[in-house]
Structure 1
Amino acid sequence: MTSHEAMLGVDSLARGTGVAAVEGVEYDSRKVKPGSIFVAMRGEATDGNRFIANAVSCGARVVVTDSREMWERAGEFPEAEFYFSEHGRQALATVSANVFGHPEKSLALSAVTGTNGKTTTSYLLESMLRSLGRTCVLIGTIEYHVGDAVRVSPHTTPESRDVLELFADGVTVGATEAVMEMSSHALEQERVWGLPVDVAIFTNLTQDHLDYHGTMEAYFAAKARLIEGVGTEAPRVAVLNADDVYGERLIRTAGKSQVVSYGMERGDFRAGQVRMRAGKTTFMMTTPHGSVEMQSPLTGRVNVYNLLAASAAAMARGLTLEQVVAGAAAGAQVPGRFQVVPSTNGVTVVVDYAHTDDALRNLIALGRELVAGRGGRVITLFGCGGDRDRTKRPRMGRAAGEGSDLVVLTSDNPRREEPMTIIEEALAGVNETATTCIVEEDRAGAIEIAIRAARPGDIVLIAGKGHEKVQILSDGKIPFDDVAVAAGVLQEMTQ
């Protein structure tokens, strides 16, 4: 491929002949090889333009920069062609699509956005599609799937170059479908620029990420870009939550897409006669195509919403009602999403990713519902992440205190903040309630306190980190797994 072919569709100013032979594209100078195109762009944490010299020394023969200053200094790097594009991430997406042979055109893409439920809805939809023998690419918070292969997930929504490489790998193994979580950061930063979305799903919107977006309106605007299209036409179908106030707004404004709504009592897909216990949920799903009983190994009303959303999306992708039912029943447990830790002492221990006040409130309500018939208590352990939205900390504390019989407040991922400072801000919310709260900064110690405080019939909810396998501290990451720690405590108690 020539540099001219790689740059097709990129709005740029050129200083080069367009005949350089290129073999790949990178935005990280450490990954540049001879013949690479290096896209230098400004990011959240650093500016890729600082590493142009390093990229050229490693063999980059084409540089695309979003810095006019660096473009004007192109003469300092005579061995490389230079291109200036004002929108660096758009340029990266377009160049990557060209280099990888436009795999996005060979895949029907379903994309999920929202504060809560993205991961579970994505897993459910992939399960339904795979139950018919369709080969899929899955990109999300927990892991990436390329056909049957599972890969580590460094980011919920990676940069466009990495998305397109995953898509290309998927096409190579026969994939025809892709399911992606699209975070608000990725939508606003145009990491998904130019990806044609066939079916878009909006789950809900509650307070989160205001450290980045500033206001709920800005947060909503970022999410809404999925329904509008990011450098592409609007999705063919928009699956929207009719029970969410922001979902209602999208229903009124998503004029270019076919709208399919869902909710408990209203919408095109509705749920009734919900019955649940730990490890199983059953309900009647009413759809424009008829009514049917749904069974799933997932637990809780939040997962009823996720099942409704995935079902509507699956039918938009051509599945029948019977095929949706079969796919839902076959859906496996999603790691860290109401994951029950095996126990033999009559105590139910659950690990869940809930890390907003709304998600925590929903989790606790489900815990309360599960123990109501046996007179059990709800014990909730949680913490708040450092270097994130501080305003949600007391809100999370209040949610935990209002719904629980006992709260254990601990550290989550403190990052660069002092753990006790974070805990004190969350404790202010707990103290607005009458619920007893035990503070233990060490998360492993807190998990042991919570489990040992439980009696037969109680439920212990370990919230916040879910599937994560590390804890992020000021001096780096350490191995940490809520499920493994909880299992260890339970094992010790039986010896």
Structure 2
Amino acid sequence: MKRTSLAEIADQCPGALMVDATATDEIVKVTGVNHDSRSVAQGDLFACISGAEHDGHSYAIEAINGGAAALLVDRELNLAIPQIVVPDVRKAIGFASAAVYGHPSKQIKVIGITGTAGKTTVAQALAETLKACGESAGVIGTLEGSHTTPEAPEFQKKLSQMQSRGDEWVCVEVSSHGLEFGRVQGTEFAASVFTNLSPEHLDFHKDMEQYFLAKRRLFDQGSGLAVVSVADEWGKRLVRELQEIGHQGLVAVEPNMVEHPKLDVQRSSFVWRGHKIRTRLLGRFNLSNLLLVGETLKGLGLEEEMIASGLEKVQPVKGRMELVTDPGSEIAVIVDYSHKPEALAQALRTLRTISSGYVWVVFGAGGDRDPQKRPLMGQIAAELADEVVVTSDNPRSEDPSHIAQQIVSGMDERSTGPKVLLERAEAIQFAVNHAATGDSVLIAGKGHETYQITGSEQRPFDDTKVAQEALLKRVGTQHS
């Protein structure tokens, strides 16, 4: 087990001062970093983070009793234990964690992906394409843990473990929360990728400007390759700002670089740099995601022919425009994580393009999250779908019927209202039963999640499995 001295840690934390550590630095060695006093292990550096509700400094004694070897604090505590005092523990914990876990990003190539939508698909597709090119690659992101971007100690520990098992590349989903809370501080990125920006997490970031600035932080962390989609104004702004500071290795990815796109419910294709790519990923936006993958790997020095071959091997990501039905089925049922207005609109536009019949959508909205987006999502569903079934997502502490009412309020101009069925399984069964031959049913909002949160209870619920069960019970209908 690697042991790191306090001096080595303090040296990596801007503005750090060691207290009661000089005489014992050769004796005190840190083997891990933790910010939860309940799970501190022997030899850990305990980071006393001051949050909105709790002050980690209040749990220092509990951490010491649990075996903490030293403290990371923003003020000296009257305790007989070595302390590293820093201006802001939250900002320093990433640097401290990188030092303790041996600076893994110096030995392994890290690609960071940020943006509102597409992070998961791009991260997974990058890893799959790298593997197809003969490289070893792993992913840290939404499908691998409870946080899109893990807290700094867990993140650096994962990087270290992936390096130890022989991975040469790690593709990381970097969320705005992760950037705001410094979870990837201390990480060297070989490449940073920007997908897009649309309203999300505005209950946290307050406005789009603050949201953009949080995302931009990924590109302030180093001089590695910067790959930016300029499909929206935020991407264009990011390119301008990076050009103004003379960022080397900047790649602006234009939407028209997806050439000759052909979309179908079973398979899509496009041409990238003269190479025809056939893919099982659905939707124009997924072709854009694959374009970002191709441009990133080309910018990192991989051969075009190998990249093109690898892109064709990319499999659909669970819960991301995932086709549940088999080829030749009467209807198409798609499960997607589109829980944001723009993502829902993209998914529905895709189905309008490739569906020969009506487009159905079954969706809700998460409780205790972004209430302002609910009427907008209702409006989008009413405008882009032929049939709408409003249901529960993860209502959490909110009344599901109240959330549904807020969604429906955005559909006031619609001549015929939506069907409201708060039991999600019932809503899915209703849409599958009533869809006619040639129709497409989008089950939106939860995607890869295998649970539903109602109140304080988390129970098993998997949209894909529920949809498969509904298809077995389906009683087909015909449009009049």
Equivalent position of 1:149 in the other structure: none
> Does 2:189 correspond to 1:201?
no
Distance change (3 Å), C-alpha of 1:490 and 1:45? farther
Q: Which runs of 5+ in 2 are unaligned?
A: none
Asked whether the 8 Å contact 1:128–1:324 carries over to 2, the reply is yes
CA distance in 2, matches of 1:34, 1:198: 34
2:68 partner SS: coil
> Does 2:272 correspond to 1:285?
yes
Q: Which residue type is aligned with residue 338 of structure 2?
A: A
Superposed displacement of residue 345, structure 1:
5.0
CA distance in 2, matches of 1:96, 1:240: 29
> Does 2:349 correspond to 1:388?
no
Distance change (3 Å), C-alpha of 1:194 and 1:22? closer
Equivalent position of 2:41 in the other structure: 33
2:374 partner SS: helix
Superposed displacement of residue 28, structure 1:
1.4
Equivalent position of 2:259 in the other structure: 272
Equivalent position of 1:441 in the other structure: 422
Superposed displacement of residue 87, structure 1:
1.5
Asked whether the 8 Å contact 1:383–1:411 carries over to 2, the reply is yes
Which residue, out of 66, 73, 85, partners 1:58? 66
Q: Which runs of 5+ in 1 are unaligned?
A: 144-152
CA distance in 2, matches of 1:479, 1:45: 30
Structure 1's consecutive aligned runs of 4 or more residues displaced over 4 angstroms after TM superposition are none
Which residue, out of 284, 289, 313, partners 1:330? 313
Matches within 5 A, 1:177-192: 177-192=169-184
Equivalent position of 2:6 in the other structure: 3
1:333 partner SS: coil
Matches within 5 A, 1:32-431: 32-43=40-51, 46-66=54-74, 68=75, 71=76, 74-75=77-78, 77-78=79-80, 80-143=81-144, 153-229=145-221, 233-234=222-223, 236-255=224-243, 256-265=247-256, 270-286=257-273, 291-342=274-325, 345-371=329-355, 374=356, 376-431=357-412
CA distance in 2, matches of 1:112, 1:45: 30
CA deviation string 1:275-334 (max 9, x = no partner): 121231101123xxxx22111110110101101111100111221111111111111120
Asked whether the 8 Å contact 1:405–1:436 carries over to 2, the reply is no
CA deviation string 1:70-126 (max 9, x = no partner): x2xx33x32x21232121123211221121111110112111111111110111111
Asked whether the 8 Å contact 1:401–1:435 carries over to 2, the reply is no
2:29 partner SS: coil
Identity, % of aligned positions: 35
2:474 partner SS: helix
TM-score for both structures, normalised by structure 2: 0.93
Distance change (3 Å), C-alpha of 1:162 and 1:260? same
Q: Which residue type is aligned with residue 318 of structure 1?
A: G
CA RMSD, aligned part only? 1.7
Superposed displacement of residue 477, structure 1:
1.1
CA deviation string 1:141-164 (max 9, x = no partner): 112xxxxxxxxx111001111111
Equivalent position of 1:146 in the other structure: none
Equivalent position of 1:148 in the other structure: none
Asked whether the 8 Å contact 2:336–2:446 carries over to 1, the reply is yes
Distance change (3 Å), C-alpha of 1:114 and 1:190? same
1:133 partner SS: coil
1:355 partner SS: coil
2:263 partner SS: strand
CA distance in 2, matches of 1:222, 1:176: 28
Equivalent position of 2:16 in the other structure: 12
Superposed displacement of residue 184, structure 1:
0.8
Asked whether the 8 Å contact 1:8–1:98 carries over to 2, the reply is no
CA distance in 2, matches of 1:243, 1:33: 47
Superposed displacement of residue 494, structure 1:
7.4
Q: Which residue type is aligned with residue 34 of structure 1?
A: Q
Distance change (3 Å), C-alpha of 1:45 and 1:434? farther
CA distance in 1, matches of 2:197, 2:304: 28
Superposed displacement of residue 7, structure 1:
2.8
TM-score for both structures, normalised by structure 1: 0.90
Asked whether the 8 Å contact 1:204–1:244 carries over to 2, the reply is yes
2:250 partner SS: strand
Superposed displacement of residue 434, structure 1:
3.1
CA distance in 2, matches of 1:464, 1:396: 11
CA distance in 2, matches of 1:445, 1:49: 48
Asked whether the 8 Å contact 2:434–2:475 carries over to 1, the reply is no
1:432 partner SS: coil
CA distance in 2, matches of 1:488, 1:203: 34
Equivalent position of 2:466 in the other structure: 485
